[in-house]
Each structure stands twice: as C-alpha cells, then as structure tokens.
C-alpha cells in the first residue's frame, strides 16, 4: 500500500433560513452531480414546510430591514461584496466542480461582486430618482415615494449559479424587501455557499433565505403563500411563469419575469429592477395659507 | 319675532334637460356608431327614480373582436406613427370639449348613477377633464419621464371601468393610454354607461382617427371577452377584488400587461390631538362621499379611546345634518345607491353588523318613496374580528373602532388584506411621518381625506391591486422600456 | 340676573388644533347651498332682522345717528311687512341720541366701548367708558379685547378684563370683539373665543370693521364651533356676530346656512346671531324687492342713511 493521503473532509450543504443553516425539515436530500455524472454533494430537497419557514423568517426580518436607512443597506451590500471577494477561491472551485471553466468561474464571481457594489450604491439614490412632489391644484403638499413591497419569492435561473442569485437578491434587498430564493436545482452549490458569505457580511438573519430543492415541487407553495407579496422568475420556463401568475392571482400577487439572457450584460442591472419591487405611496397634507403676500384667513 | 318657522332649504332641482339622453345607444367602434351583432339592448335606469333612461347595446364576442381589430388597425395605421406633439393636441381637444359640455355630462352622470349633482358638477366632470388636460401634456415628454430609458407604447389597451365614478375613471384610463401612444377598447360598467358613451361622442367630435378609442357596452361577459382577447397588449381594470383575481388568472402566462385597482377598507385614524372639527368633516367626507361607493372610502374609523365618546357624538350630530335624497337637488349631500343589487348588499351588511352585536346609529332623515336610498349610518362597539370591520361594504356605513397607542393602531390598520388608502389625523408632524410610513397603503391622507388630483398617483398595496393611475407614475403601466 | 365674576382657569386654553385648509373646505360647502324660492325670502327677512346697523366714524354727529335710526325703523316701506333691524351700533357719545330716536321701537341700541377700536388704554378707563354707555341706556355693549396682551400670552389679563367689563354691563348684553384680523391664525381665534366665552361674553364678535381681514366664513366657523362645544359642555348658549365685509345678501345667506348647519335652527334668531354691517341692509332689500316684484332693482330706489 502506498503512502496514505489525508482523508478529505466533505462539506454538508444546507439551507439558509432566518440567519441559520438548518437541514430541510423533511430530512430529504438529492444528489448534485458534476458534468461527468459523478455525485459531488447531497443537498437538501426542501419541502413546503421549509418554504413556510423561509417566508416566515423573511416576514419577521422585513420590518426592521425596511426601516434601516438606505445608507445602512448600502453599507451591508458593499460588505457582501467585500466578503465575496475574499471567498473567490472557494466559490470558484465550486463553480468549476459544477462545470464552469476556470475563466468562466472567475468572470461569474467578478460580475457578481461588481453587481453587488452597483446595487450598494443605489440603496440611497433610487428614492430620490423615482420620488415626486406632485403639484396638486389644491392647498395640499403631495408627494409620492417608493416603498418596499415586503417579502419576495425568487426563482434562481439555470446556468448562472451565482450571478443569478446575486442579480435577484441585490435589487430586492437594496429596496428594503426581504426574500426567499429557490436555488438553481442542478447547480445549487454556489448559491448555498453564497449564504455563508451573506452570513458573514452583517446581513440580518431572515433578510435573505435560500433553499435548495426541486423547483417544480416548491413553486406552487411559494406562489400560493399569501404572505409572499411578489414573485420574480426568469423567462426560461413559460409554464412556470404561467403557473406563478395563475396561483398568485389568488391574492393579487405582483409577478415579474426578468430576462435571463441579459444577466451577464450591462442590461442585467438597473434601478428599474429595484423599482419592480417597490410600491408607490402618495401622501397628502394640507398647507396653511395664512401669511405671506395675499394670504388671509 | 312673531311666528318662528324653521328655516328649510326649498327644493333646488337641477334641470334634466341638458342631459339630452338619446333613447338608444349603439357601440362605438372604429369611429362609428354600430348596431350590436346580437341585436340585444339592455336598459339603463335612474337609480333615484327607477325610471328607464335609455337602452344600450350589448356587445357580443364578435363585436368585441371587431372593436379590438379596429383598435389594432388604428394603432398600426395612425396612432403609433403620429408625432407625439400631435397626439397631445388631440387629447387637449378632448379635455376642452369636456369642459364645454360639462353641464350635460354632470347632469347625465347624476341621472344615470345617482350621485349628487353637486359632486358630478364640482368633482367628477371637472376632474375628468383635468385628467385629459394633464396627460395630454405628457405625450411629447415621455423621454423625460423615465431616466435612461426610452418608453414605447404597448399597442391595444383593453379597459374596464366601474360604476362609482364612470366618467372620471374612463378619463383615468383613456388619457394616459392615449398619451403614451396606445389605442383603446373600453367597456364601462353596465349600470352607468351613458357618460362614457357621451365621451365617445366627444372623441368623435374631437376628430380622433377612427378606432383609436372604441367603447363597447355590456355586462361582465363582454368584459371577459375583452380580457381574453389574444390581440390585446394591456388590461386596466377598476372594480372588485373578486373580478380582479379572475382577470389576473385569465392573463397568466400571457404577454399582456395588467393594472388592477380593486377594493379597499381604508383606515381613518383619529388621534386625541387631532384637529377635531376638521377630522369630523374628514370622516364624513371619507365615508359618505358618493354614498360610500368609493374604493378608498375611510370605512374603518379608529378613534383614540380618550376622545372616542366626544368624537362619536360629534359624528352623530353631523350625520343628522346630511341632506339625503334627490341627487338632482343641488343641496343633496347623499344621493341614491347605484343599483337595487348594491342596496341589497349594503342592507345585508347592516344586518350582519347588528347580528354581530355592534351598536347601530343612522340619520333620522326621511327617504324618498321611490328609488334606491340608504340612510347614512355608523356602527360603534365594533371589533377587528367583526365582518363589517373586514369586508368592503361599499355604502354609507361607517365602522368605528377604538385604540390606545400608536403601535396598536398601526397594527390594526394593517390588519387587512387590502391596502388602498388611509387617513391620519394628528397635530404632531413626526407622528404623521411615522404612521404614514408604517401603514401599508398606496394613498395616505394626513389631516384630510378623499382628495384626488390628476398629478397625484393613485393605487393600492396588497389585494387592493397594483399599478398606479395619475401622475408621473401613471404613465408606466402603459409603456414598455426599450434601450435608449 | 346677577353676574358672578369668574376666575381664570388655564384649562380653557386647551382646545383642539384647527386645520385651516379643512376649515376652508367646509366653508366652501356652505357656499354651495342653493337657497331659492320661499327659503330665500325667509332667509333674507331673517338677515334683515339680525342686522346691527352700524356707524362708527370720527365724523359721526347726532344728525347722522338720527338719520340712521330712521332708516332702522323704516327699512323700505314700499314693501309692507318687513322686519326692523336688530340694533343700531354707535359710539358711547351717541347712545343717548340713538336711544331717544328709537323710543317706542323694539330696536336695541348697542354701543362700542373699552377704547374702541384699539383697546389700548387702562382697565379703569375701559370700565368708565362702558359705564357711561350703559348709564346712557345702551342695551348692548360691544367691547374689544386687548390684542396686545393676548398676543403677549397674558391670557389671564384678557380674561379678567372681559369679566370686569361684563360686571359693569349689568343687564346689557356684552359682545366681545376679538379683532380676528390681528390674531394671526385660526388656532388663536379659537383660543380667544374660548377665553371670551369663559369670561362671560353674551356674544363673540369677529371684528371692529377697522382692520382687514374682517369677518370671513372660516373665522366665523371656528367661532361657531367654539360656541357649539361650549354649549355641549355647559348647556349655555352664546351669540355670534360677524362684522365687517358682509355687504351682499348672498354671502349673508351663506352665513345663515353655516349657523344652521353648525349650531342648529335655534341660533337663527336675532337673540343669538347678528350681522355687524352698514351697507348689507340695502342689498338685502333689493333682493327682497326683486323676489316680490320679479325684476332686478336699482340702488337709486333704496334710501341711504
């Protein structure tokens, strides 16, 4: 027998819910394989109850996250980028294991980091850009501002293991929402490991929740969850999109379909993605007209 | 003073004559008035007298197809190609003719829908015209509306309006659609089609290219055909949440863009430091405006316990001064309920409220013998768990609940599937900013209620719908972004 | 009726805030009431009966006051059955003249007092001024509050002054002029109204007529609401007198609408509501004549005194 090499320690990939890394409550898992068909990891096959827990964690986190200043959210998004930069090697290895070339893996991580920084900068700016003071014809001050929708369900796209998750999450939380993300079914490892980045980057627990599992099994449960205010998916599966909208109609859910082809391009990032997940609130208040020239009462 | 006679206002009825309502209305398709293929007509009645006003064509599926086709042709042939500044001029023309024919429109609106003539004259009609005037100006300025994006029109917009503000909501729908370069097929609610048909005539008079605006009349089925039509790019609907769900489901998976403006159960919150007498007016205006047929009505009143007794007494006193009756009388404050069916719904809710154990108070006014009328009323001793506090009654019935602290009232106000509007009454500015931020609703009226303006976006959170109408934000539902 | 001089209690300063825009929106609604036919005629006659026909000028003479008193009794004899005005309002020096001229009529004589219109003198002189008017036979006294003291926050002083004047009035009814045009905001109007009522005012009155703006619908509404709240709290009625700037009958009718819908029909009586005006009467008379004869009228046919 040749000299025995050190036995490798394998990693257990778990869900990310409420700032913790629980296994699926169902106890189920499925095998993630590499391009050669070899199993590289067993990941959680999440159930409807994990969806329930994820939404509940997101809802609990929403109010405090929503009430943070834009500046503070920007700091945290920037911190995520910093942490991601530090874990480049780990994530790159994972992407390569899942079939990326080394160059493609590096590019995906760089793009993801840059995208986080892009949105970090938007956190305290989109409000100014998309707010309005409306010149109503009565003695009232009237203004409209964007506000977060609340809890957003998000389906990660295929073939953009990390960039897809980042491109969903960043505009969503930049705008004060919290989210539950279903990782890509085939290549979820980068998404799950990205959760560790989030965890170490001062993102409050529950703001981002990431589940692995069979999207077909879970779409119905997210779409029909009454406490999910909006759903975002990519334009890959027409059937999924229809289903999400049909089910979401039950309680007037906002649904959005983003363009997967644009993900890796400049068009894959925009304040309009933040705005998709914003409501517009308009406030009126009377203006006293006593005083000043022509004023009388 | 000798004999003291109580001073009553003598009847001051507006004349019906300016309405000039025809005995029959056809469909307005491709710039012409065409008979329905079904040859079917339905009656439109005056809810205040139950007299027949006119008969109106029922659009069949074939008629809907014809209207959509005309709209598509008009889009491709004229409207899409037209210079935006010219488009604007057409819309300005509509606004001007509406102003010129304001009296006719106001009288028609009141005869057809039962709302007080004071409201149609002073609110519905001028605001509708102003809406066209406002959006007309946007037509050639869209490049400034969306930073770093070019906004293109969508194509054909199918629009469905409700019966509570018939002409005003037709304006809310048509004006932004036209300004952004879309063409329109609009279906008004069947009980109140007349002013929309008159608007079609105004659009004809303004000489818009044929097919740019089409008006098809009929009941829910006509609307369903419209929403199901393959060649529609956009649906805008105002109405019940129930129908909104059906429409959203119908459109699932399609390319059609959707705006929904649905129900509400607006929380109107009175703090102990509120300007009390103005708050009383705000509450009255919030629930009795348009007989309470208002999706953003302040139908859930939250009064801080420390002033509840005094405030409720003031409300009762004020309710007793409301003049209820003939909508055509210029002094009427509360007119007729829009339809027999709606009256039945309201009465059913009053029964439910009483059965739930809430205390009922109503004005002691006498109601006209004929027509659909309901006394302005309120419930006290209401709990969050009562159906009357949760469900939209859409009538002149106010539910009063009490609260003690800011946290409590925020939680209670948000404790609803709806999120369209809310009112906050307090003298403390910082509290207004806090509460208005915490409340999940699209329109917040602070120290005022039920105000509308073309420049001010309107629309809901949660099950009150999505998309905005009015203001800059009202453009976006009618455009698609392309690269600049 | 003996008057027990009340003691100032700072609690009366706790009043709900007033939102000006809301007040204006409410008053616009009153002006939308359409007063036609019999209700118009009844309203116009009511307006006439509520007028305090006023002359308050440095150049007033017995001659002028006598003429005004004649007008008060004979408003427009061409139309039979007209009421007389409620009162004549003059300076203290003219009270005895007016009293004599109006002898035998039911028309009251009101006298301004307390160093009208500015009120800038000592309490001693103000009380003497009041006493003189009352001794000369004034049925009603229209006093001014010390706006300077009020704006300086000396509410107890203002209160005591009103109470002291009221004491001197005896059986004469006291109207307290707030001079709202100098108070700055509707919140201040509300506060001044509360003080005046608590100190014993029989009427609260908007203005001297010497300062702009004088009576307005919003100011009057806030005062009426103060009266209403006081009535609900104590069961005691207080009268209201808008003065200055009401010269058209249509506007006067809208004031009556406001009184009716804020305080109720009980207040639609000259005992509880007055108009302080000089030119309003003729405009109302022209309207009455128009309602009676059917055609529009010319001012040349209506006597000016």
Taking the Cβ of residue C225 and every Cβ of chain B, the question of whether any pair is shorter than 8 Å is answered with yes
Query: What's the structural domain count of chain A?
Result: 1
C-beta separation of B209 from B74 below 8 A: yes
Is B442 within 8 Å of A282 when comparing Cβ atoms? yes
CA distances from C59 to C62, C91, C113, C120, C129 (A): 10, 11, 17, 21, 19
Mean pLDDT of chain A: 94
What's domain B17-262+464-482's architecture?
3-Layer(aba) Sandwich (3.40)
Per residue in B114-163, pLDDT (tens digit) is 999 999 999 999 999 999 999 999 999 999 999 999 999 999 999 999 99
C-alpha–C-alpha distance, residues A271 and B454, integer Å: 26
Per residue in C191-244, pLDDT (tens digit) is 999 999 999 999 999 999 999 999 999 999 999 999 999 999 999 999 999 999
pLDDT of A94 higher than 70: yes
Percent of chain B beyond pLDDT 90? 98
Per residue in C18-62, pLDDT (tens digit) is 999 999 999 999 999 999 999 999 999 999 999 999 999 999 999
**What pLDDT is recorded for position A292?**
58
Q: Which residues of B are less than 8 Å from A136 in CB distance?
A: 451, 453, 455-456
C-beta separation of B454 from B133 below 8 A: yes
Report residue B4's pLDDT band, with 50, 70 and 90 as the boundaries. Answer: low
* Residue A1 domain flag: no
Percent of chain A beyond pLDDT 70? 97
Taking the Cβ of residue B447 and every Cβ of chain C, the question of whether any pair is shorter than 8 Å is answered with yes
* Residue A264 domain flag: yes
Percent of chain C beyond pLDDT 90? 96
CA distance B374 to chain A (A): 30
**What pLDDT is recorded for position B1?**
41
What's the token pair of residue A293? 């020239």
ipTM: 0.96
Q: Which chains touch B (3 or more CB pairs under 8 A)?
A: A, C
C-beta separation of C222 from C205 below 8 A: no
pLDDT of A1 higher than 60: no
Q: Mutate one of C34, C85, C255 to test the B interface: name it (highest B CB count within 10 A).
A: C34
Per residue in A43-63, pLDDT (tens digit) is 999 999 999 999 999 999 999
pLDDT of B2 higher than 50: no
Report residue A220's pLDDT band, with 50, 70 and 90 as the boundaries. Answer: very high
Mean pLDDT of C120-140: 97
CATH class of the structural domain C10-291: alpha beta
* Residue A12 domain flag: no
Mean pLDDT of chain C: 96
Residue spans of the domains in chain B: they are: 17-262+464-482, 267-453
* Residue A291 domain flag: no
**What pLDDT is recorded for position A257?**
95
Percent of chain A beyond pLDDT 90? 87
Residue whose structure tokens are 């929740």: A209
For chain B, give me the number of helices (H) and strands (E)?
15, 22
pLDDT of C117 higher than 70: yes
Cβ-nearest to C21 among A288, A291, A296: A288
Detail the DSSP E strand segments found in chain C: 51-54, 87-90, 108-113, 140-144, 173-177, 203-205, 239-241, 275-277
C-alpha–C-alpha distance, residues B441 and B414, integer Å: 8
Per residue in B379-403, pLDDT (tens digit) is 999 999 999 999 999 999 999 999 9
Per residue in A238-278, pLDDT (tens digit) is 889 999 999 999 999 999 999 999 999 999 999 999 999 99
Note down the domain range covering A33. Answer: 29-284
Active site residue C142: yes
Q: What is the CATH number of the domain that holds A188?
A: 3.40.605.10
Of these ranges, A232-236, B204-208, C293-297, the one predicted with the greatest mean pLDDT is B204-208
Helix C249-263 crosses helix C217-234 at what angle (to 10 degrees)?
A: 30
Residue in chain C closest to B317 (alpha carbons) equals C262
Show the DSSP H helices in B305-395 as ranges: 305-320, 340-355, 387-390
Report residue A290's pLDDT band, with 50, 70 and 90 as the boundaries. Answer: confident
Per residue in A121-162, pLDDT (tens digit) is 999 999 999 999 999 999 999 999 999 999 999 999 988 889
- Cis status, amide bond into C117, omega within 30 of 0: yes
C-alpha–C-alpha distance, residues C207 and C177, integer Å: 6
What single-letter DSSP state applies at residue B15? P
Question: What's domain B267-453's superfamily in CATH?
Answer: Aldehyde Dehydrogenase; Chain A, domain 2 (3.40.309.10)
Specify burial of residue B471 (Cβ count, 10 A radius: 0-12, 13-18, 19+): buried
C-alpha–C-alpha distance, residues B423 and B284, integer Å: 12
Is A280 within 8 Å of B451 when comparing Cβ atoms? no
């Amino acid at each position: 027998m040749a000299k025995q090499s050190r036995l490798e320690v394998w990693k257990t990939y778990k869900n990310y819910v409420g700032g913790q890394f629980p296994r699926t409550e169902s106890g189920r898992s499925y095998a993630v394989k590499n391009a050669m068909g070899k199993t590289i990891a067993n990941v959680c096959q999440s159930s409807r109850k994990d969806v329930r827990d994820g939404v509940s964690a997101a809802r609990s986190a929403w109010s405090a996250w929503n009430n943070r200043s834009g500046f503070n959210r920007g700091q945290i998004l920037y911190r995520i980028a910093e942490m991601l930069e530090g874990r480049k090697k780990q994530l790159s290895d994972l992407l390569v294991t899942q079939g990326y070339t080394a160059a493609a893996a590096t590019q995906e991580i760089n793009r993801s980091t840059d995208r986080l920084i892009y949105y970090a900068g938007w956190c305290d700016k989109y409000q100014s850009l998309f707010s309005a003071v409306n010149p109503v014809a009565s003695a009232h001050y009237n203004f409209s501002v964007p506000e977060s929708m609340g809890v957003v369900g998000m389906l990660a796209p295929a073939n953009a293991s990390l960039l897809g998750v980042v491109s969903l999450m960043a505009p969503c939380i930049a705008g004060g929402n919290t989210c539950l993300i279903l990782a890509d079914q085939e290549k979820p490892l980068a998404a799950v490991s990205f959760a560790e980045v989030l965890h170490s980057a001062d993102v409050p627990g529950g703001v981002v929740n990431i589940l692995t599992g069979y999207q077909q099994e879970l779409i119905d449960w997210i779409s029909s969850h009454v406490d999910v205010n909006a759903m975002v998916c990519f334009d890959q599966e027409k059937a999924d999109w229809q289903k999400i909208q049909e089910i979401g109609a039950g309680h007037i859910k906002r649904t959005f379909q983003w363009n997967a082809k644009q993900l890796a391009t400049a068009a894959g990032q925009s304040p309009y993605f933040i705005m998709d997940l914003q409501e517009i609130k308009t406030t009126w208040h009377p203006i006293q007209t006593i005083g000043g020239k022509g004023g009388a009462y | 003073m000798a004999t003291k006679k109580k001073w009553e206002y003598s009847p001051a009825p507006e004349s019906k004559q300016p309405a000039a309502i025809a005995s029959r209305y056809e469909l307005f398709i491709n710039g012409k008035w065409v008979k329905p293929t079904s040859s079917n007509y339905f009656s439109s009645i005056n809810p205040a007298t139950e007299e027949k006003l006119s008969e109106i064509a029922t659009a069949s599926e074939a008629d809907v197809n014809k209207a959509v086709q005309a709209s598509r042709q008009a889009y491709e042939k004229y409207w899409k190609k037209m210079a935006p500044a010219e488009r604007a001029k057409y819309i300005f023309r509509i606004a001007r003719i509406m102003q010129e024919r304001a009296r006719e429109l106001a009288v028609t609106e009141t005869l057809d829908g039962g709302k007080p003539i004071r409201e149609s004259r002073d609110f519905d009609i001028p605001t509708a015209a102003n809406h066209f005037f406002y959006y007309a100006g946007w037509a050639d300025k869209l490049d400034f509306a969306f930073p770093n994006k070019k906004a293109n029109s969508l194509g054909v917009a199918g629009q469905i309006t409700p019966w509570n503000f018939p002409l005003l909501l037709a304006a809310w729908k048509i004006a932004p659609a036209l300004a952004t370069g879309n063409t329109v097929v609009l279906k008004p609610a069947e009980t109140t089609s007349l002013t929309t048909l008159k608007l079609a005539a105004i659009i004809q008079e303004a000489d818009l290219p044929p097919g740019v605006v089409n008006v098809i009349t009929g009941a829910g089925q006509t609307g369903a055909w419209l929403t199901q039509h393959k060649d529609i790019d956009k649906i805008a609907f105002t109405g019940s949440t129930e129908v909104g769900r059906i429409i959203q489901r119908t459109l699932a998976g399609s390319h059609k863009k959707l705006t929904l403006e649905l129900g509400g159960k607006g929380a109107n919150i009175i703090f102990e430091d509120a300007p009390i007498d103005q708050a009383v007016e705000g509450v009255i205006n919030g629930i009795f405006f348009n007989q309470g047929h208002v999706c953003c009505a302040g139908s859930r009143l939250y009064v801080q316990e420390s002033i509840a007794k005094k405030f409720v007494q003031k409300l009762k006193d004020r309710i007793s001064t409301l003049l209820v009756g003939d909508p055509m009388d210029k002094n009427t404050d509360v007119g007729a309920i829009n339809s027999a069916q709606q009256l039945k719904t309201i009465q059913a809710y009053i029964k439910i409220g009483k059965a739930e154990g809430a205390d009922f108070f109503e004005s002691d006014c006498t109601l006209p013998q004929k027509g659909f009328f309901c006394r302005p009323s309120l419930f006290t001793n209401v709990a969050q768990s009562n159906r009357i506090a949760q469900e939209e009654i859409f009538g002149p019935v106010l539910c009063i609940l009490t609260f003690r602290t800011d946290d409590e009232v925020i939680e209670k106000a948000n404790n609803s599937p709806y999120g369209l509007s809310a009112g906050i009454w307090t003298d403390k500015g910082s509290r207004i900013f806090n509460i208005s931020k915490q409340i999940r609703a699209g329109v917040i009226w602070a120290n005022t209620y039920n105000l509308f303006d073309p420049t001010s976006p309107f629309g809901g959170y949660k099950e009150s719908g999505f998309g905005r109408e009015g203001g800059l934000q009202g453009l976006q539902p009618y455009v698609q972004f392309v690269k600049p | 009726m003996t008057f027990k001089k009340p003691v100032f209690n700072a609690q009366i300063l706790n009043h709900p805030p007033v939102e000006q825009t809301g007040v204006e929106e409410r008053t616009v609604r009153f002006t939308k009431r359409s007063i036609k036919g019999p209700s118009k005629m009844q309203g116009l006659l009511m307006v006439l009966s509520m007028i305090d026909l006023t002359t308050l000028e440095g150049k007033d003479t017995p001659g002028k006051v006598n003429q005004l008193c004649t007008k008060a009794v004979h408003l427009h004899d061409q139309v039979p059955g007209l009421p007389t005005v409620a009162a004549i309002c003059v300076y203290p020096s003219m009270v005895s003249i007016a009293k004599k001229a109006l002898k035998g009529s039911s028309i009251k004589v009101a006298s301004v007092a307390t160093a009208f219109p500015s009120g800038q003198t000592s309490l001693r002189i103000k009380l003497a001024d009041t006493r003189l008017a009352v001794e000369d036979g004034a049925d009603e006294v229209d006093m001014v509050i010390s706006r300077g003291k009020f704006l300086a926050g000396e509410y107890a002083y203002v209160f005591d002054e009103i109470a002291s004047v009221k004491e001197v009035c005896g059986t004469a009814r006291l109207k307290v002029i707030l001079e709202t045009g100098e108070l700055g905001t509707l919140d201040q109007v509300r506060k001044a109204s509360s003080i005046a009522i608590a100190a014993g005012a029989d009427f609260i009155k908007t203005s001297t007529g010497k300062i702009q703006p004088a009576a307005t619908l919003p100011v009057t509404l806030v005062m009426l609401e103060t009266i209403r709240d006081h009535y609900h709290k104590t069961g005691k009625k207080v009268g209201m007198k808008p003065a200055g700037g009401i010269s058209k009958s249509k506007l006067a009718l809208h004031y009556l609408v406001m009184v009716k819908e804020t305080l109720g029909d009980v207040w639609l009586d000259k005992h509880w509501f007055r108009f302080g005006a000089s030119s309003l009467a003729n405009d109302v008379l022209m309207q009455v004549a128009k309602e009676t004869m059917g055609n529009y009228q010319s001012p040349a046919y209506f006597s000016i005194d």
